[in-house]
């Protein structure tokens, strides 16, 4: 935690790590809530293997940040959502519906 408080725009995701300049297959990791730490660790491992990785903190499931989700969903070769909620009808389902 930081000492300085920040306002968070409702429905706006945070891009923790963006893709670099075309250096390999692109993987977009959307780490929701407690799973953001796991997404960051996975990004380090994947980057070491030569993948170009973006890490996104969705922050909200509703409303979903459709712009950020669609951008990274279409720019990536592989999209991974990490959540500790439900499989059917959960955050991953919302991402799939947005990108399709």
Report pLDDT digits (tens) over 48-90.
999 999 999 999 888 999 999 999 999 999 999 999 877 777 8
Res. 30 pLDDT band, cuts 50 70 90: very high
Which residues make Cβ contacts (< 8 Å) with residue 54, sequence separation at least 6? 15, 17, 18, 19, 26, 27, 28, 29, 72, 75, 76
pTM of the model: 0.88
CA–CA separation, 20 and 67 (whole Å): 19
Q: What is the CA radius of gyration of the chain?
A: 13
- Cβ atoms 76, 25 nearer than 8 A: no
pLDDT confidence of residue 2: 66
The SS3 call for residue 62 is coil
Q: Average pLDDT for residues 13-38, to the nearest whole number?
A: 91
Q: What is the mean pLDDT of the chain?
A: 89
Angle (nearest 5°) at CA 75 between 72 and 76: 85
Domain 14-99 has CATH 1.10.3720.10: no
CA–CA separation, 75 and 16 (whole Å): 16
What ranges do the domains of the chain cover? 14-99
């Amino acid at each position: 935690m930081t000492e300085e408080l920040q306002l968070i725009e409702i429905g706006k995701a945070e891009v923790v790590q963006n893709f670099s300049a075309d250096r390999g297959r692109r993987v977009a990791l959307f780490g929701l809530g407690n799973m953001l730490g796991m997404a960051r660790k996975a990004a380090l491992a994947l980057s070491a293997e030569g993948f170009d990785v973006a890490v996104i903190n969705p922050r909200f499931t509703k409303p979903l940040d459709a712009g950020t989700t669609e951008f990274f969903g279409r720019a990536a070769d592989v999209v991974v959502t990490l959540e500790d909620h439900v499989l059917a009808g959960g955050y991953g389902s919302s991402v799939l519906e947005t990108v399709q």
